[in-house]
Amino acid sequence: MFHSIIFFNEAIPFLDKQLNEFIENIKNVTDEEKKAMLDNANKFIVVAKMYQKMGVDSYAMVQNISTISKLRVLKPINKYDPILKIRVSDEIMTILDNKLIELFTK
């Protein structure tokens, strides 16, 4: 369903846009389709509420970056969760790279 990369600060507006498109599409459908769409809407709302709680700001303490267990990596909670598509920009990655080099090399 989601094919593009989403930056973390774009997750809430992206979900809002998806919800508005969903609402437009529900107007001319059968009762069975409405039931399925309502189920999808509930799944979507769960994701939207989760991301609203997180906020849009993220911080990195580069000196504390370490490896983590695969078990701590977040998995999508349902098909509407954009977690696998959220990425930081190249600019942020360059800043992190430079700081890691500064901290851990001579």
Say what the pLDDT of residue 8 is.
62
Say what the pLDDT of residue 5 is.
55
CA distance 106 to 101: 8
Helices (H) and strands (E) in the chain, counts: 3, 2
- CA nearest neighbour of 10 among 61, 80, 73, 82: 82
Stated pTM of the model: 0.49
| 50-88 pLDDT, tens digit each | 888 776 677 778 888 888 888 888 888 888 888 888 888
In the chain, what are the domain boundaries?
6-104
φ, ψ at 7 (rounded to 5°): -80, 150
| 9-48 pLDDT, tens digit each | 677 788 888 888 878 877 777 888 888 888 988 998 888 8
- From residue 69, alpha-carbon distances to 2, 20, 72, 100 in Å are 26, 37, 6, 21
